[in-house]
Amino acid sequence: MSEQLVNAIADMREEEALKLVKEMVEGDSDPLAILDDAREAMDVVGKRYEEGTYFLPELMLAGEILNQITDILKPELAKLPEVQRHGKVLIGTVEGDIHDIGKNIVTFMLDVNGFDVLDLGVDVSRQKFVEAIEDFQPQVVGLSGFLTLAFDTMKETIDAIQAAGLRDQVKIMVGGGQMDDQVRAHTGADAYGRDAMAAVKLAKDWIGG
C-alpha cells in the first residue's frame, strides 16, 4: 500500500495523486493495488464527510480524482475480474421531476462504498422502476425528488411496486429537498434520508457491507 497515494487523494492533493499514480503505473506497480489505495482513500473521504469535516467540494473533487485514476488504469484493469460488491441499489428521480444533483451525490457515495448502483436518471416512470426491479433485482430502491409533486409521485411509484408484487423483496428509501418523516409515511417508503451518508447508512443496515 502507498500511504503517500492514500493521503494525497484523501487530503485533496489532486495533482500529486495523479502524478503518483502515473509513476506507479510506469514503475509496473500492480494496478489492483493502486485501485485498493484509491478505495482506501475514498473510505477516508467518506468518513470525513460523515464526521462533518468534508462537504460537497471534497466529494466532488474526490470523484474527479477517482475518475482520472480509473482512466489511467483502464487498459490494465480490463484484464482483471470484477470486484465483489455488497449488494444492489436501484436509484432514480421520480416522474415529473428532473432534479439530479442530490441523486448523483447519493449514487456516487453508494458506489464508492461498495454497492452496485443502477441509476435510472431523472423523470423515471413507475413502469420503468418496476421493470428495473424485475431485471436488476436490487435489495434497495432509492427514490429522489425535489418538488412537492414528488410526494404523490413517490407514493404512486411505491404503489406500483406493490401492485407488481415486488414490494416485499426491496427496501425503499426516499430523499430530496422537502422530505421528512411525514412525507416518508405518505409515500409508504421504509425510510428517508437527509443526505448521502444517510443513504449509505440505510443501505448498509439493510444489505450489510
Partner 1 sequence: MEKTWAQMSADEKQEANFQKLLSPKDPEGNDLQFQSPEAEANYKASITRIKDAIQIKKLPDKVPVTILPSMFPYLNAGITVEEAMYDYDKCTAAFKEFILEFEPDMHIGASVAGPGKFYEILDYKLYSWPGHGVAPEHSYQCNEGEYMAAEEYDLLMMDPSFYFRNFYLPRVFGALEGFKMLAPYTSILEMYGVAFNFVPFALPPVQGTFQTLFEAGAEALKWAGAMGSSDGELATLGFPNIVGGFTKAPFDVIGDTLRGTKGIMLDIYRQPDKLLAAMETLTPIMIGMGVGAAQQTGNPLIFMPLHKGADGFLSDEQFKKFYWPTFRQVMMGLIENGCIPFPALEGHWDSRLEVIQDVPKGKTAWMVDQSDIQKAKATLGKNACLIGNVSSSMLNLGTPQDVRDYVRKLIDTVGQGGGYIVSNGAFFDEAKPENIKAMVDTAKEYGAY
Binding site for partner 1 (CB under 8 A): 12, 14, 53-57, 59-61, 64, 96-101, 147-149, 151-152, 177-180, 182-183, 186, 194-195
Q: C-beta of 61: minimal distance to partner 1 in Å?
A: 5
Query: How many Cβ atoms from other residues are within 10 Å of residue 138's Cβ?
Result: 23
Q: Whose Cβ is closer to partner 1: residue 162's or residue 182's?
A: 182
Q: C-beta of 23: minimal distance to partner 1 in Å?
A: 21
Q: Whose Cβ is closer to partner 1: residue 64's or residue 134's?
A: 64
φ and ψ at residue 200, rounded to 5 degrees: -65, -45
Q: C-beta of 177: minimal distance to partner 1 in Å?
A: 6
Query: How many Cβ atoms from other residues are within 10 Å of residue 140's Cβ?
Result: 25
Which residues is 116 bridged to in the sheet? 88
* Torsion, CA 39, CA 28, CA 22, CA 30, rounded to 10: -10
Residue type, 70: T
Helix (H, G, I), strand (E, B) or coil at 146: coil
Q: C-beta of 76: minimal distance to partner 1 in Å?
A: 26
Q: Whose Cβ is closer to partner 1: residue 1's or residue 149's?
A: 149
Q: C-beta of 180: minimal distance to partner 1 in Å?
A: 5
φ and ψ at residue 11, rounded to 5 degrees: -95, 10
Q: C-beta of 144: minimal distance to partner 1 in Å?
A: 13
Query: How many Cβ atoms from other residues are within 10 Å of residue 185's Cβ?
Result: 10
Q: Whose Cβ is closer to partner 1: residue 141's or residue 179's?
A: 179
